[in-house]
Chains A and B, each alone.
Chain A
């Protein structure tokens, strides 16, 4: 099969990077960044997930249609969470009319 074979040392390098990012995310959580704690946690998690997808799951070496599938999945997830939050986050902006 004309499948790309990744070097073993690449896998080990990715594993080490994931370990470093795991330690980083635990360490960052102990620092008070206010609202940016959650941002830092999600950015680090997204970096780790991207490394797993690209290298461990071979997306980098796979046909582009695989990347398109994943992009579609993330897009729909963003719509699901994003549109739901626009509702909940904005409910308190408008006071209920009296009598309701």
Chain B
């Protein structure tokens, strides 16, 4: 019995950026984005625990949460929402130019995205500073006039932990984008190989999505009262 000899396959074109365990860049790209999405799903649940805790306490102390939420700076919060969604637009454009292989436009839009991200963190920092001066930072110095001092402190614990964790993600996102921007500037990506730009973009957009939910839950409770 003769064993059929398998015809030698022609070696695939090992283009730049292709890891040895993938057949081609398309397969590598699909695996990369699936992996990134699986990570983002764990992030949904990471923030989800806080959203669940928030839901319980908001349900238990609706009046106190409404009063405390009025202390959140609506103007700064709205400006920050616009800044962050704007940064998602510039991020989407950076990926767009990466697909077209326009190196300079990719770097320019990545820098613009980071500038908007830093602006968001600056406004957030100013808000934190105001809260600190108003003695609304949870702890022994917390002061909240009216009958809801304790429950309002609970609201501000949620406010600081949720926005703080979100801000931490922004800092990580800016770190990712700066790395990708340097590599893009050095010409490491092409219209064939740009997965790192797209995956960093997925992370950035995810952080935007978290804020889209945080904004109404923290800043907009019963504003009509």
B interface footprint on A21-64 (CB within 8 Å = 1, 0 otherwise):
01001100111100001100110110011001101111000110
The reply to whether A11 and B93 contact each other, CB–CB distance below 8 Å, is yes
CA distance A42 to B213 in the complex (A): 7
- Interface positions, chain B 51-87, Cβ under 8 Å from A, are 51-52, 55-56, 59-60, 74, 78, 81-82, 85-86
Contacts of B93 in A (CB 8 A): 8, 11
CB-nearest residue of chain A to B75:
A26
Contacts of A12 in B (CB 8 A): 89
* Contact among A11, A31, A69, A77 for B96, CB-based, below 8 A: A11
The reply to whether B213 and A80 contact each other, CB–CB distance below 8 Å, is no
Majority secondary structure, B binding face: helix
CA distance A37 to B223 in the complex (A): 9
- Interface positions, chain B 69-113, Cβ under 8 Å from A, are 74, 78, 81-82, 85-86, 88-89, 91-93, 96, 99-100
CA distance A39 to B191 in the complex (A): 43
CA distance A32 to B217 in the complex (A): 16
* Contact among A19, A56, A58, A73 for B41, CB-based, below 8 A: A73
A55 to chain B, nearest CB (A): 8
The reply to whether B38 and A25 contact each other, CB–CB distance below 8 Å, is no
The reply to whether B78 and A65 contact each other, CB–CB distance below 8 Å, is no
Contacts of A80 in B (CB 8 A): 45, 48-49, 52
The answer to the question of B136 belonging to the interface, with a C-beta cut-off of 8 Å to chain A, is no
The reply to whether A66 and B59 contact each other, CB–CB distance below 8 Å, is no
B24 to chain A, nearest CB (A): 9
The reply to whether A30 and B223 contact each other, CB–CB distance below 8 Å, is yes
The reply to whether A29 and B223 contact each other, CB–CB distance below 8 Å, is yes
Known: A12-B89, A49-B209, A70-B41. 9 other contacts (CB 8 A): A1-B193, A1-B194, A22-B78, A26-B223, A29-B220, A52-B212, A66-B37, A80-B45, A84-B56
Q: Which 6 pairs from chain A and chain B are nearest by CB?
A: A73-B41, A41-B216, A29-B220, A29-B223, A15-B89, A73-B44
Which residues of A are at the interface with B, using a C-beta cutoff of 8 A? 1-3, 5-6, 8, 11-12, 14-15, 18-19, 22, 25-26, 29-32, 37-38, 41-42, 44-45, 48-49, 52-53, 55-58, 62-63, 65-66, 69-70, 72-74, 76-77, 80-81, 84-85, 88-89
15 contacts between A and B (CB under 8 A): A1-B191, A1-B192, A1-B193, A1-B194, A5-B96, A5-B100, A14-B89, A15-B85, A19-B82, A56-B89, A56-B91, A57-B202, A80-B49, A85-B55, A89-B59
Which residues of B are at the interface with A, using a C-beta cutoff of 8 A? 25-26, 29-30, 33-34, 37-38, 40-41, 44-45, 48-49, 51-52, 55-56, 59-60, 74, 78, 81-82, 85-86, 88-89, 91-93, 96, 99-100, 191-194, 198, 201-202, 205-206, 208-209, 212-213, 215-217, 220-225
